[in-house]
Amino acid sequence: MDVTVVTITRPEITASVTRGAARLLVDLGYAPLAEVTLPNGRRADLMALSPRGEIAIVEVKSGLEDYRVDRKWHEYLPYCDRFAFAVAPEFPQEILPLEPGLIVCDGFGGAVLREAPSSALAPARRKALTIAFARLAAMRAAGVAITDLAV
């Protein structure tokens, strides 16, 4: 009997978890954008706006190596009210810090395992980020290739 082994690449895992996290955010009432460059130069995998104007950032980790080489998650916190990691079901969750939220996703959706704590942005920063988020979404909807928040 022949056994076929299917290997899923790291970019495929990242795409699947990102898609599932975005679908979960939509289900939770958020409007997500992928690949958003923040004013500090960091790139958020997903940035999302809630109906109340809350800003969430979700950092997708495709595996253990991805997490170990990228320890810059603290640099996202000044640009969001809530921060969470999104990982695939097979990711070793015990290595993640306990402070951020935790979402487990596949390509079809996800589940919040740990709610992201809220830390309210300063009103001026929230306004600037919200306007930049709206402009970025509008530019993308118009077909203009852009990824950064012009704050």
146 within a domain of the structure (yes/no): no
Closest C-alpha among 110, 113, 105, 45 to residue 80: 45
147 assigned to some structural domain: no
Q: Please indicate, yes or no, if residue 151 is contained in any of the structural domains.
A: no
| pLDDT tens figures, 2-61 | 777 767 788 889 999 999 999 999 999 999 999 999 999 999 999 999 999 999 999 999
Length of the chain: 151
The pLDDT tens digits of the residues spanning 66-92 come to 888 878 899 999 999 999 999 999 999
Cα–Cα distance, 12 to 4 (Å, whole number): 18
- Up-side HSE of residue 131: CA atoms within 13 Å toward CB? 7
Say if CB 89 and CB 106 are below 8 A apart. yes
Q: Does any domain span residue 126?
A: yes
Count up the domains in the chain and report the number. Answer: 1
In this structure, what DSSP letter does residue 52 have?
A: T
- Whether residue 150 lies inside any domain: the answer is no
Q: Examine residue 21 and state whether it is found in any structural domain, yes or no.
A: yes
What is the domain range of residue 40? Answer: 10-141
How does DSSP assign 78-110, residue by residue? Answer: GG-SEEEEEE-TTS-GGGS-SSSEEEEEETTEE
Dist. CA 45–CA 18, nearest whole Å: 7
Read off the pLDDT band of 100 (50, 70, 90).
very high
- Is residue 143 over pLDDT 70? yes
- Distance (Å) of CA 48 to CA 25, 108, 115, 148: 7, 18, 15, 14
